[in-house]
Structure 1
């Protein structure tokens, strides 16, 4: 396949729907039965009990995936929400207001329509922090942990991809959480987009099981299911075999995560209330 044809396949991973434009954005847990059609390309339906803090919602462009990582914190892709946009979280049989903050280095809606790598500078910080108005009880589940310590992701490492996406390009999206194993083709290289032709090197690139429309914001995990750690968030893909993930360990993203406490003014939360599992040593209710 020629290089020009290859890049024509790339899309931001949300898919636009009329419902997403009109309905209230509600982040909700995995449905009680998770047995419909598969969604991650090359994957299989996930077991509900394995990923209880994973949420599904309708974002800016349609179906997205998000993850609870702290008593007041949900992570998703930056292109799934507008900066300072409201949402609601359905958790523990109650609704809680959220306010979402997109990484300040993310270029915004212009990224959704770009496909040429040299034009994607400013699109690699594709991450958003959503703050809850009320503390989230660890029942029905504890919260996921973000990796911030070595070892880093390396070429040929295996990672679990997770998301509510399709199984083939432009395929049907259903309400089933899907997981699949992919191999890291290259690790993220922070600052690579200082040379625009190398912008894609700021992402983790994986091959094998692949993210698809609807997987945006879905977490990728270390392969140890007994103690999984979030490594990255799904951002882009070729809807076939290759995925591009935002590395949560890069300095650009780590700085943003460590400033999450500054968002406590969203809902007049107490100082020190906002903690992220894996980032803050004293975060509570972490898996």
Structure 2
């Protein structure tokens, strides 16, 4: 039996879609020769007009000629109808040998047959399909894929989840919902914003106030948190600007601010300022490319009246401690401090006109120094603005001492609480060469200043262990040393009120003669007192550091001492030579 090409193509298409009704030969025959019923629709094989006596056996030729209701037993394809009201539900290709075919037979299909033609079925995968690598276009573009199929394609859960979120309901991040530069990640039915530092909220729309741990809260000087908000404040002599962050002063000479250009970092890793700086008063050019050096050591002091480039031998003073600690440091490996760039430096000179310790200007009456310096001489004076001990200029001034206040728990054996205040008999007249260092708040000193790369020490001490004292004021940048490293460098006790600074292999340190001198740290161009030169094991020895009194532990003590020592009104007591009052606080 021959079929038209159209019929053949339809049958092949149905076979490709992996669906083909299986009709066994036994089912294709009439259920009964006497009844001639269709095995699928159970209609009579003959129309109502056909009599039982006609063609009861249903031969092929006789069946094909019967146009009322026909069962084609030759092809086993099932029933087909013409004009009979008994229509089968499954389509049978028209018989090309039939004398009459209607347009309805050629054009229209019943519902089930039409559904098989119009609906795209999933391709039947072969048994090798699972061995093939997943294909995006074949599995998720041409067809609707599942998460598991997508997982086979990407071979990574995170990437699959990212794809799946967009595949299911589109990309919610297309509209850029995250504010302030937040990163958007699409999810199913929603999205997630990953906010930049300083912002929060579902869309990163809320700015988080900067707290003190974050860049000091943006404050120039001191920072504290009040009701979960940052509150800035300033050092003595400064006021808070309208922006509530910056600190300004209308004073000509304010604490911690040198008049000349910035002092560069003296550490090798820091930037070096090689510009030449003009000193407007001296009309001279000062180069800042030299390496500064500072030294530590005890037991040796120098005279303030030494002349010439190489000073004569200086007297040796025994350390008051029997422990192998060297007090009275000097600057080793430093550089000359230009006039006016270490304006808080004080020089203590004994009755023999010998400089023996240093100090730091805090107020117009108060000098900060080390307690171990107070037992070196019965009488001493203080010189300020000194740059070169061999030259007399109008920059330096001399003040007599009125009162000494040492810490009442100072231990001369361990140098614990090695701190003292000196009250001058007359007030200091501040100039660009004589200025105080700023007093920090304790938290600011420990959490901000002591986390800077380095601090600056200065003094007229010895230029090396066993060497002569310096005639010119020296300065040296010394890096902070973490406490664990500091403690491991010595067998001596490092108390919680001490800290180490310096180099373990480079010969740069404070040394004898620098004791009591300033250790200051710069922050936003303002210098704050952070340490007092106290003791060390020799000077610039390998693997050893200079040890300093940690000023942050004594801020309240210092302020209380200043309050008690500062004269009221026009009180200007001047004591006779040698009659310095000594107190403990």
Q: Cα deviation per residue 1:101-146 (whole Å; 9 max; x = unaligned)?
A: 11111024xx3xxxxxxxx2xx221111001122222135332212
Look up the match of 1:177. Answer: 473
Does structure 1 residue 215 correspond to structure 2 residue 518? Answer: no
Alignment CA distance shift 1:85-1:44 (3 Å): same
Gaps of 5+ in 1: 1-11, 21-25, 112-119, 274-287
Separation in structure 1 between the aligned mates of residue 482 and residue 496 of structure 2, nearest angstrom: 8
Separation in structure 2 between the aligned mates of residue 179 and residue 42 of structure 1, nearest angstrom: 9
Look up the match of 2:342. Answer: 51
Structural mapping, 1:112-127, within 5 Å: 120=414, 123-127=415-419
Look up the match of 1:81. Answer: 374
Q: Cα deviation per residue 1:144-176 (whole Å; 9 max; x = unaligned)?
A: 212225151546731112121122211111222
Separation in structure 1 between the aligned mates of residue 452 and residue 398 of structure 2, nearest angstrom: 42
Gaps of 5+ in 2: 1-295, 312-329, 385-395, 572-585
Look up the match of 2:160. Answer: none
Checking the alignment, whether the CA contact within 8 Å between 2:401 and 2:422 is kept in structure 1 is no
Matched position secondary structure for 1:217:
coil
Look up the match of 1:142. Answer: 435
Separation in structure 2 between the aligned mates of residue 164 and residue 213 of structure 1, nearest angstrom: 9
Does structure 1 residue 205 correspond to structure 2 residue 500? Answer: yes
Q: 2:561 aligns with which of 247, 254, 260?
A: 260
Shift of residue 97, structure 1, vs aligned partner: 3.3
Checking the alignment, whether the CA contact within 8 Å between 1:88 and 1:98 is kept in structure 2 is no
Look up the match of 1:245. Answer: 548
Checking the alignment, whether the CA contact within 8 Å between 1:83 and 1:102 is kept in structure 2 is no
Q: Cα deviation per residue 1:51-72 (whole Å; 9 max; x = unaligned)?
A: 1231222469962111211011
Checking the alignment, whether the CA contact within 8 Å between 2:347 and 2:382 is kept in structure 1 is no
Separation in structure 1 between the aligned mates of residue 341 and residue 492 of structure 2, nearest angstrom: 39
Aligned CA RMSD, in angstroms, stands at 3.8
Matched position secondary structure for 1:81:
helix
Shift of residue 243, structure 1, vs aligned partner: 0.3
Alignment CA distance shift 1:52-1:197 (3 Å): closer
Separation in structure 2 between the aligned mates of residue 199 and residue 162 of structure 1, nearest angstrom: 22
Does structure 1 residue 107 correspond to structure 2 residue 417? Answer: no
Separation in structure 1 between the aligned mates of residue 377 and residue 520 of structure 2, nearest angstrom: 27
Matched position secondary structure for 1:257:
helix
Look up the match of 2:422. Answer: 130
Name which of structure 1's ranges 130-139 and 56-65 shifts more when overlaid on structure 2. Answer: 56-65
Checking the alignment, whether the CA contact within 8 Å between 1:46 and 1:179 is kept in structure 2 is yes
TM-score by length of structure 2 reads 0.34
Rg larger in structure: 2
TM-score by length of structure 1 reads 0.65
Q: Cα deviation per residue 1:39-96 (whole Å; 9 max; x = unaligned)?
A: 6222111112111231222469962111211011011111111399653334564543
Alignment CA distance shift 1:63-1:88 (3 Å): closer
Higher relative contact order (CA 8 A, sep 6+): 1
Separation in structure 2 between the aligned mates of residue 181 and residue 101 of structure 1, nearest angstrom: 29
Look up the match of 2:568. Answer: 270
Q: 1:15 aligns with which of 299, 319, 343?
A: 299
Count of residue correspondences: 227
